[in-house]
Amino acid sequence: MNTKLHAICDSQGRPLSLFVTAGQVSDYIGARALVSSLPKVDWLLGDRGYDADWFREALNDKGIRACIPGRKQRKKTVKYDKRRYKRRNRIEIMFCRLKDWRRVATRYDRCPKVFLSAIALAATVIYWL
């Protein structure tokens, strides 16, 4: 069983919203689920997996500027702020800190709801308590 965790984090790398999808599902599905729960921010940093025209338009409609590099096979290159994109390491650090919890790293739980609750518990203890 394989899963993929999608997260919305604040500027300090603390998770605000979490969503789990099946591992073989594209990142677009997670983006579509999380776009409605985006907070009022100026910028959104994301990796290449979230590069889609509809996602950029949805962010633009909310007044959020996207800092997402374009996919390699994209015909028209997309400009993004490379200096700002380097701050995305805070999100990667958040994922690594969640994986410090053995239950999250090894995925003991078969049920996705139970697995997501274990991730939420770990995130709460690590970042909010």
Residue-wise pLDDT tens digits, 30-41? 888 888 888 889
- Using alpha carbons only, give the angle 58, 64, 69 rounded to the nearest 5 degrees: 80
Given the candidates 3.30.420, 1.20.120, 1.10.3210, 1.10.287, the CATH classification of the domain at 3-128 is: 3.30.420
Distances in Å between the alpha carbon of 19 and those of 52, 81, 84, 85, 95?
Answer: 19, 26, 24, 22, 13
On whether the CB atoms of residues 8 and 39 are closer than 8 A, the answer is yes
On whether the CB atoms of residues 66 and 56 are closer than 8 A, the answer is yes
Residue-wise pLDDT tens digits, 57-115? 999 999 999 999 988 888 888 888 899 999 989 999 999 999 999 989 988 888 889 99
Strand duo 3-9 + 65-67: pairing: unpaired
Tokens of 14: 């603390």
pTM of this prediction exceeds 0.85:
no
DSSP 127: I
pLDDT confidence of residue 83: 92
Round to whole Å and give the CA distance between 74 and 37: 28
DSSP 99: T
